[in-house]
Amino acid sequence: MKEISKQGIETLVKLQEAESEIVRLKTVLGKVEKEKIKLSAKLKQFGNALEDKKENLLSSEAACRDIEREIQIVDDRIIKSNEKLRMVKTNKEYQLLLREVDDNKKRKDALETELLEYLDEKEKTQSLVQESQEEYNLLKDQIEAEQKEIEKKSTDDRELLDEYLGRQNDIGKNLDKSLMDQFARISKMNKGLAVINVQNEVCNGCFMNIPPQLYIEVQRGGSLITCPQCSRILYYINT
């Protein structure tokens, strides 16, 4: 067992108090960051859905333009065919042109029917895009407000964390480097709890019994004693 003064044990206890607060504050701030990320992901998901609707609207608009151009082309063919009808000299040519006009009129009717369907779809998609855009804007404002509120509430915790980190650093200057390394190693193993008191032969870190002789040594002080089960540094509070 390594010898350590009573003052050294007290310094370790103070170091642990700072460490416990640091772990607690980091946990709180970690949850804050996760909540902010969650809100951002929610907005992004809604934004992606909005972009999909906008892409659908662009596709509908492009389809309408394509059909309108084709209708114009067919309409021009009908006009030209009608002009030719006035100039034909044989019945066979006349019949061929009539059939051509009829086929183009049928094609135009079909295209106009298709255009109406696309215009209806475009109108519905425009309505969906408008509604979704308004919902997105409201959600964006709401999430930004929530994130600002979360950030505002966490400011005190961030300042307190910096304070405890500074305090931990100052306390550590009074300890031997090997002892600080041991503290850091045990703290990492036990989620920030490296130094713990012992009562009635029970370690308050793992709540396991320690040997009676070891308990007596802890009560006496003067030695660096660790729990046989969890390896935490033990100290005794004389009540």
- Cβ-contact 133, 93 below 8 angstroms: no
Quote the CA–CA distance of 124 and 239 in Å, as a whole number. 77
pLDDT of 7 > 80? The answer is yes
Q: What is the pLDDT of residue 1?
A: 62
Q: Could you read off the pLDDT of 177-197 as tens digits, one per residue?
A: 999 999 999 999 999 999 999
Identify whether 117 is part of a domain. yes
Residue 167 burial (CB count, 10 A)? 16
Q: Is residue 97 part of a domain?
A: yes
Q: How confident is the model at residue 167 (pLDDT cuts 50, 70, 90)?
A: very high
In a domain, 40, yes or no: yes
Q: Which amino acid is at 225?
A: I
Cα–Cα distances (Å) from 218 to 6, 201, 207, in that order, read 11, 10, 16
Q: Where residue 221 falls among pLDDT bands split at 50, 70, 90?
A: confident
Place 41 in a pLDDT band, splitting at 50, 70 and 90.
Answer: very high
Rounded Cα distance between 129 and 227, Å, is 65
What's the domain range around 45?
33-174
pLDDT higher than 70, residue 239 = no
Residue 13 lies in a domain: no
Gap between the Cα atoms of 136 and 47, Å rounded: 7
Looking at the domain assignment, is residue 122 inside a domain? yes
Residue that wins the pLDDT comparison between 86 and 34: 34
CATH code where residue 88 lies = 1.10.287.1490
> How many domains does the structure of the chain reveal?
1
Q: Is residue 192 part of a domain?
A: no
Q: Which pTM does this prediction carry? A: 0.68
Residue 112 forms part of a structural domain: yes
Round the average pLDDT of the chain to a whole number and report it.
Answer: 92
The per-residue pLDDT for range 51-60, each reduced to its tens digit, is: 999 999 999 9
DSSP state for residue 228 in the 8-state scheme = T
Q: What is the mean pLDDT of residues 74-93?
A: 89
Contact 140, 43 (CB under 8 A): yes
Residue 158 in domain? yes
Burial of 127 (0-12, 13-18, 19+ CB in 10 A): exposed
